[in-house]
Chain A
C-alpha cells in the first residue's frame, strides 16, 4: 500500500468553487482513481460528489480531469500516474453541478444538432441494408463506433474551450457515421450543420487533443480531416458514400 495525496477541486451544490481540498489515501498498486474517491467518500468526507456507473470503462460516467488530463477515473490506476499526488478536477468546458459532477447537457445539445438518430425514408420497411464486408463503411466505421459519449473529447478540445457554438468532436464523429450509413437519408441536412461557419468542422484546428484523450482510442481527428476533405472535394464524399453503401435490399 502506498499513500497518495489526493487533491480535489471542490464546489458546492450551486457549482460555486470551494477551492482545493487535500486528502491522504492509502491505495494498493492497481487501485484506480475511482477507488481513491470511494475511499475518501467512505472514510473522510461523505459529502464528496462524483459520478460512476459501470466501473469498467464502458459507460463514460466517471470522466474527470486527473493530473491535468481528462480521462475515466475507473480506468486510471493511481500508481501509473507516476506522481505521489493526484489532482482531480471536474471536466472543463462543461458546467459543474457539484464537486466532480458536471452537466453533459451542453454536450448533448450539440449532439442533437447533427440529428444522431437514423433518418431513413424506408423506416417502416422490413428490408435489411446490405453492407459489403470490403466496403469503406464496413472497413472504416467499426473503429469509430465505440463512442461512449463520456464528454472527454469535448473537454480536451482546445477549440471547444473558446467556442460555445462548436459542435465538438463526438457529435461530428456521430454525423460522420450517419453520413456513411447505408440506411440513412439525411446526409444533406447533416452536411449543412457540420459545414456551418461557427459550429462546424472548420473550427477544428487539428490540435489532436480529442484523439489523444479519447479513452476508446477513436481517431476523431481522422474523422474531421476526412470531412474537411469531403467538403472541399464533394465528389470524394459521393464516391465514399457510394462505395460504402448499397441501399436496402430485399
Chain B
C-alpha cells in the first residue's frame, strides 16, 4: 500500500466504517460460498456409501481442518452479525449509529463469541488436550 493511502486508511477507517463493513460482508460471503461447495461435496459422499463418507469425515478431524473450522466460525459470526446490522439499518433502525453498531456489535460481540467457540475447538482439535 502507498504511504498516503496507508495513512488515509489509518486516519479515516472510523469515518468509512460502513465501507469497511461492506467489504467484510462481501469477503465473508464469498468464503462461505466456498465452504458451501465443500459441504455439499462432503454430503454427496453419502451417495458413495458409508465408508466414503466416514473417510471424508476423518479428514476433517486433522489439526489443519480444525484450524480451518475455527476460521469458518469467525467467518460465520462476522457475516451473521454484520448481516443483522445491515438489515436493521435498511429498516431504518440505528443507522445514525452504524459505526458503533459495526465496531461494537459486529466486531466486538463477534470477537467474544469467536473466542468462546474457537478456544475449545483449538484446545480439543489442534492441541488435543
Residues of A within 8 A of B (CB): 7, 67-69, 81-83, 85-87, 158, 205-209, 211-212, 219, 221-222, 225-226, 228-229
Complex CA gap A86/B18 in Å reads: 24
CB of B81, distance to nearest CB on chain A (Å): 15
- In contact, B22 and A225 (Cβ under 8 angstroms): no
Point out the residues of chain A lying under 8 angstroms from B78, CB to CB. none
- In contact, A87 and B2 (Cβ under 8 angstroms): yes
Choose among A81, A85, A86, A158 the residue that contacts B19 (Cβ–Cβ < 8 A).
Answer: A158
- In contact, B98 and A85 (Cβ under 8 angstroms): no
Complex CA gap A156/B93 in Å reads: 23
Q: A67-B5, A82-B11, A208-B98 are contacts. A221–B92 as well, Cβ < 8 Å?
A: no
- In contact, A82 and B92 (Cβ under 8 angstroms): no
Choose among B9, B16, B90 the residue that contacts A212 (Cβ–Cβ < 8 A).
Answer: B16
Point out the residues of chain A lying under 8 angstroms from B7, CB to CB. 67, 81-83
Q: Give how many A-B residue pairs fall within 8 Å (CB-CB).
A: 68
Closest chain B residue to A65 by CB distance? B8
Point out the residues of chain B lying under 8 angstroms from A67, CB to CB. 4-5, 7-8
Point out the residues of chain A lying under 8 angstroms from B5, CB to CB. 67-68, 87
Choose among B11, B16, B86, B90 the residue that contacts A209 (Cβ–Cβ < 8 A).
Answer: B16
- In contact, A85 and B4 (Cβ under 8 angstroms): yes
- In contact, A69 and B8 (Cβ under 8 angstroms): yes
Closest chain B residue to A86 by CB distance? B4
Does B59 make an interface contact (CB < 8 A)?
Answer: no
Complex CA gap A229/B95 in Å reads: 13
Point out the residues of chain B lying under 8 angstroms from A226, CB to CB. 92
CB of B26, distance to nearest CB on chain A (Å): 9
